[in-house]
Amino acid sequence: MTISSIFFPRPENQGVGLWGVPTSSVNWCEQDYTISYYVAEFFNTFSSLCMVAFGLLGQWSLRRLSPSAHNKIYDPLLAHPSLLGIDRVWATWFALQLVGWGSVAFHGSLQWWSQAFDEVPMVWTAIVHLTTCLVGRCEPFPLAVPKTHLRKVTGLKAYLIPSLQRDRMGEWYTAIISPTFLLHAITCSLLVTIFRGPSQFFIFHLLFGSAEIAGFIYTFSMYREARKEATADAAFAYCRDEYSEAEYKRLVQRHRQDICKMHNRGAWIYGIAIIIWSIDLNFCDYVSRIPVTYPDLAGFLAGGAGGLQWVSTTMNPQGHAWWHLLVSYGFYNLGVLATYDRVLAGYREFWLGVARREEGCMELLSEEKVHGRKVAGKGDVPVVEWLWGLFPVVSIRRRTSAK
């Protein structure tokens, strides 16, 4: 039986497979090498692919915000996705995939080096998600900048290097959120890989947990604002004159419902996953001995004497494997919520900037950018669509009729 906590010694007779005796600072409740000689924790390993799948789903969902998806319409912001933070969101989903592959390596081998491959991407994922929330809400949107500067705020440079921007009053300032959290992520990565044993376990969860909780706080603030009708109305007030009163009310109501739905699903499922994670870690001796009685169908079909027999045994529900599935789905909902909030803020600030005739906004609407295509209007707004009622994706609702 594997240990139930980092505070107890490992049993001497623990099964050893291809990767040898575990050297990680924590071992989970699943018995080691019981399914395969090559995989230490079979169920935990393959359930880790849930994170890879949801990371790929997140990246695929961004195709709805790509210029090619709207090639018949010139959308100034989709033509410059870095201004909407799409590259940052893409990095979040990519980091989630790295978490999944790192988790495969960790649970497959239970070695200290593979544990680092699992935990370091977790820290980066939490921090990139947090900065997605922060940048859209705490730093002025970088649209009131000269044409020459627009070319400089794209790709990796836009994310890593502090860039000079203008705030809404036209004053220059230097962005600090991304560089600050980049330094934080590097520091966390070094601490997680340098320390060993119980101290490594606590340091990782302290650093990762702080970024994780901060992200929860910001997504909760989005949920709290959506519950207030006045605040939700302010999110779309910039385009009120593009809709009839009834259409506008439906748009705001949809906005409120989608944000509440994403937050509630994400937060509750993530919370349930954390409870399961804690039980699996600390109460393994109990959950591994859950009594189960089932019919011996194999013996019955083989013509065993005495007819159908019932077999009594114990089972392990593989709580950590369920944690992988639930936390992936919960984080996906919260990640799309942050994406939606960021994109909506971008569209709102852009069209307010057009109304103020700010240089950067007007430059994006210049005639040479259009190339004969129909130009998007401020009635074209970000919305949330639901795939099969389960998976939210951000899309653009195009205004098809005049008021």
Sign of the C-alpha dihedral, residues 157, 160, 165, 168? positive
* Residue 36 DSSP class: B
Q: What pLDDT, on a 0 to 100 scale, did the predictor assign at position 73? A: 85
Binning pLDDT at 50, 70 and 90, where does residue 357 land? confident
State yes or no: pLDDT of 273 exceeds 80: yes
Where is average pLDDT lowest: 81-85, 230-234, 265-269, 280-284?
Answer: 81-85
Residue ranges of the annotated binding site for Zn(2+) are 107, 320, 324
pLDDT in tens, 123-144: 888 888 888 888 777 766 655 4
How far is residue 80's CA from residue 83's CA, in Å, rounded to a whole number? 6
Looking at residue 254, its pLDDT comes to 94
The percent of residues in the chain predicted with pLDDT above 70, rounded, is 80
Residues 23, 40: Cα–Cα separation, whole Å: 12
Distance CA 150, CA 80 (A): 9
Which CA distances in Å does 327 have to 129, 131, 279, 319? 14, 20, 15, 12
Q: What pLDDT was estimated at residue 325?
A: 96
Give the model's pLDDT for residue 298: 66
User: Per-residue pLDDT for 83 more than 50?
Assistant: yes
H or E stretch covering 173: strand 172-174
Q: Are 118 and 103 in contact (CB under 8 A)?
A: yes
pLDDT band at 59 (very low <50, low <70, confident <90, very high): very high
Q: How confident is the model at residue 82 (pLDDT cuts 50, 70, 90)?
A: confident
DSSP bridge partners of 393: 385
Q: Look-up: residue for tokens 């921090």?
A: 127
pLDDT at 11: 44
The confidence score (pLDDT) of residue 85 equals: 81
**275's tokens:** 């409870």
Instruction: Give the chain's radius of gyration (CA, Å).
Output: 25
Q: Once rounded to an integer, what is the mean pLDDT over residues 23-34?
A: 84
Contact between 58 and 336 under an 8 Å Cβ cutoff? The reply is: yes
Question: Residues annotated as binding site for Ca(2+)?
Answer: 28, 30, 41
Model pLDDT, residue 96: 95
pLDDT of residue 270: 92
CA dist., res. 99 & res. 105, Å (int): 10
3-state secondary structure of 312: strand
CB 53 within 8 A of CB 113: no
Q: Render the burial of 113-147: b for 16+ CB within 10 Å, e for the rest.
A: ebbbbbbbbbbbbbbbbbbbbbbbeebbbbbbbee
β-sheet bridge partners, residue 85 = none
pLDDT in tens, 147-188: 444 444 444 444 444 454 555 555 545 566 667 777 777 877
Domain residues of the chain, as ranges? 43-285+319-397
Task: Report which secondary-structure segment, H or E, holds 396.
Answer: strand 391-397
Residue with more model confidence, 194 or 219 = 219
Which among 90-94, 122-126, 160-164, 195-199 has the top mean pLDDT? 90-94
| Chain centroid, CA 235 distance in Å | 23
Positions at the binding site: 28, 30, 41, 107, 320, 324
Mean pLDDT, rounded, of the chain: 80
